Every structure is written in C-alpha cells, then in structure tokens.
Amino acid sequence: MSRKKRQAELSERNRQLLKLLVSQYIEEGQPVGSKTLAERSGLDLSAATIRNIMADLEALGLVHSPHTSAGRVPTIEGYRLFVDSLLTIRPLEPENIEAFQRQLDPAASTTELVSQASEFLSSITHLAGIVTVPYKLASLKMLEFLPLSENRVLAIIVTTDLEVENRIIHVQRSYSQDELQHIANYLNEHFAGQDIASIYHHLLADMKAAREHMDRIMRTAVDMAEKVFSETQTGDEVVVAGQTNLMDVDDLADINKLKELFEVFNEKREILHLMDRTMKAEGIQIYLGQESGYGAFGDCSVVASTYEVDGQTAGVLAVVGPTRMPYDRVIPAVDITAKILGAALNSRK
C-alpha cells in the first residue's frame, strides 16, 4: 500500500493516537500500551477501543509489537508519516541561537566556520553533526607545483581566504621545477581571483575547445589544471563532530553497529554520497533507516539541509542519530544552523 493511501485511510482520531504513540516511544524508548494511550490521549476512548485502533495501525504497517502482549512501537513507515504530517516543531531557545551567532567569526576561515557549525549541531542535539566544506566558494590566490617521484606532482592551492590545500596528481612524465614554474605562472595569470568551480567549468568549456590551437606548455598547463580542479570540485571535505555521542544511545549500543557507524564516519565516502543527494533537493531532507541507502545507517535517521551563499547552494549540513531521535528539536536545529552558517559566509564575502 502506498504512503498516500495509508494516510488517506487514517481518521483524525487514529492520526492523533499514532502521533501520541510515536512521541511517547521517542521520549521513553519503551513499547507503548493501550492503557497509556487511553490515559494520555485526552480522548474518551476505552482501552479496548484503542487496542482495536492499534490493530488497524499495525495492519497498515505503521506500528508493530516487539513481542507478545507488549505495547506497540512505530515502524519506519510510522515514523515517516509522523515526521511528514504529524510532527509539531519546537523552536530553539533564542539564547542558544544568539550564542551560536556570537560564536561564528566572519573573519575565520571557511573550514573553521564549518567546524563551528558542526560542533554546534552536535552540542545542541547531543548527536553527531556533519557539515560539508563549500570548496566552490573559495577563489584562487595562487597555484604552485612541486615535482615528486614516479611521475607525480604536488599541487599547492592557496585561496583568497588564505586556506592552503595540497593535492598529489599523476602526470604522463616527470617535470623539472622550471617547467612546473612556467605552468604555474600561466595558470596564475589566467585564473587568479576566480572561484574554483568557475575555473573547473572554464577548463571544461572554452579552454578545452581551443586546445588544438595552444602550444605545448599551454596544453600541458590545461591538462594539469583539469586534474587539480576536477579533484577539488568533486572531493568535498566533510567535518564530523560528536560521533562519540552515539555511544550513549541505547538504540545503538550494539558494538558491531557502532563499529560500522564509526567506520562510515572515518571513511566519509558514504556520507558524502548522501550529502550529494541532499544538494540536489530542496528544504529539510529526512532519511529514515534504510531510506539512506546505506546499511550502516539502518538503525539511524539523518536530518539534512543545504545552506546557501549568494543565493546558491554551497554545501550541506546534517545530524545523524537513532531513528528514535527527537525530530521536533533536531529539525529546527538543522534549519537554523543552515541559515546562520550561510549568513556568516555571506557576510565574510
């Protein structure tokens, strides 16, 4: 049965009881019984009537019983209906927002601002905070090359906000320092002051089309720059804070689950794939359990949002925690952090 059809079959009374059940389970972590629902719902319903409603919700795949004669807990479909249409958001306290705004220093580097945003997400939610670094905001100040062994070259990228990044690229032959200096001079002359994304797309378009008219040094420079900037464009860094908070979450207490999660945080590859999916979407995105597409997140939820600079999507930030997370607090935390981080990066530009 489709999600829309499930929602259409629910009466207002059933929706109210499902909302209460999910809220109670998130807060207490124990299966919710009919007696508890009868006492706390404010509805004039007997426990027997509520049991019948719970049976209907179970038939729709929205709740299930962990074991015989237990109360019910929400399924992933139940959580999905809850976060999509039943959740009541609680805004963050103004003092927390103001403290974060004071903490962000527009004069700090991009990476420092991103790290502060990740740490704020972690501290305010007591879960893991993740923020991608917006490389495409950086403009090139200077590019240098140093020869290495085995046909490798070290590219040193210095941006206008004085961040330095080193990348090792593989080339067709060995180059002397003088040759590399000529190449660097050519690229600095043509691209200094441009943002990284523009350089990359410019290389793919105009420069690439005119390659047959270039001399050998120019062609070599373009080929080498493509290697440098294509890696910069696709190799976004991600800053993770507070992953050890997940060790205190009962739902993730299994040592094998934690080990798998920590491997994901360390390698960051799967996280970046998930962040890339969010970059292409609008608004807050919530991935519940297997919806993320990654086995390590099977017992987790990811609440993510893009942040903008100059009206353009610049990066993604997210909170990772158990499926039984307080969405009413996490969602506004992600939303306001995205807005404040974007504002700080805008003011710096």
> Per-residue pLDDT averaged across 36-47, rounded?
87
Strand, coil or helix: what is 77?
Answer: helix
Residue 117 is predicted with a pLDDT of 94
Core vs surface per residue 311-334: b (16+ CB within 10 A) or e:
eebbbbbbbbbbbbbbbebbbbbb
Residue 338 is predicted with a pLDDT of 94
Indicate the range of 75-84, 121-130, 207-216, 281-290 predicted with least confidence.
207-216
Res 2 pLDDT > 70: no
Q: 265 with 335, same domain?
A: yes
Residue 233 is predicted with a pLDDT of 47
> Could you tell me the pLDDT band of residue 280, with boundaries at 50, 70 and 90?
confident
Give residue-wise pLDDT tens across range 60-111. Answer: 999 999 876 678 999 999 999 999 999 999 999 999 999 898 888 877 888 8
Q: Which segments of the chain does DSSP mark as H helices, in order?
A: 3-9, 12-28, 34-40, 47-59, 76-81, 94-103, 110-125, 177-191, 196-202, 208-209, 216-234, 255-267, 269-279, 327-348
> Per-residue pLDDT averaged across 329-348, rounded?
91
Distance CA 114, CA 303 (A): 17
**CATH number (domain holding residue 35):** 1.10.10.10
Please say which residue of 234, 258, 285 terminates a domain.
234
> Could you tell me the pLDDT band of residue 309, with boundaries at 50, 70 and 90?
confident
Q: 180 with 318, same domain?
A: no
> Could you tell me the pLDDT band of residue 235, with boundaries at 50, 70 and 90?
very low
Residue 242, judged by CB atoms within 10 A of its CB (0-12, 13-18, 19+), counts as buried
Residue 234 is predicted with a pLDDT of 42
CA atoms 336, 337, 338, 344: torsion sign: positive
Please say which residue of 26, 60, 86 terminates a domain.
86
> Per-residue pLDDT averaged across 253-282, rounded?
80
Cβ atoms of 138 and 125 within 8 Å: the answer is no
Number of folded domains that form the chain = 3
Cβ atoms of 216 and 253 within 8 Å: the answer is no
Strand, coil or helix: what is 306?
Answer: strand
Element (H, E) at 131: strand 128-132
Closest CA to 330 of 286, 289, 292, 290: 286
Q: 255 with 342, same domain?
A: yes
Q: Which of 54-58, 167-171, 182-186 has the highest mean pLDDT?
A: 54-58
- Structural domain that includes position 69: 3-86
Q: 146 with 227, same domain?
A: yes
Q: 117 with 263, same domain?
A: yes
Q: 63-64 and 73-74 as β-strands: parallel, antiparallel, unpaired?
A: antiparallel
**CATH number (domain holding residue 117):** 3.30.450.40
> Could you tell me the pLDDT band of residue 6, with boundaries at 50, 70 and 90?
low
Residue 5 is predicted with a pLDDT of 58
Q: 115 with 61, same domain?
A: no
Q: 341 with 248, same domain?
A: yes
- Backbone Cα Rg of the chain: 26
Q: 114 with 263, same domain?
A: yes
> Could you tell me the pLDDT band of residue 135, with boundaries at 50, 70 and 90?
low
Torsion (CA) 280, 317, 337, 291 in degrees, nearest 10: 80
Q: 127 with 153, same domain?
A: no
Q: 191 with 265, same domain?
A: no
Core vs surface per residue 118-146: b (16+ CB within 10 A) or e:
bbbbbbbbbbbbbbbbbbbbbbbbebbbb
Residue 213 is predicted with a pLDDT of 57
Residue type, 67: H
CA atoms 291, 294, 297, 298: torsion sign: positive
Question: Residue 84 has what DSSP assignment?
Answer: I
Distance CA 237, CA 232 (A): 9
Cβ atoms of 272 and 236 within 8 Å: the answer is yes
**CATH number (domain holding residue 156):** 3.30.390.60
Distance CA 333, CA 30 (A): 25
Cβ atoms of 324 and 315 within 8 Å: the answer is no
Distance CA 44, CA 49 (A): 10
Res 293 pLDDT > 90: no
**How many Cα atoms are found within 13 Å in the side-chain-facing hemisphere of 61?**
11
Q: 195 with 336, same domain?
A: no
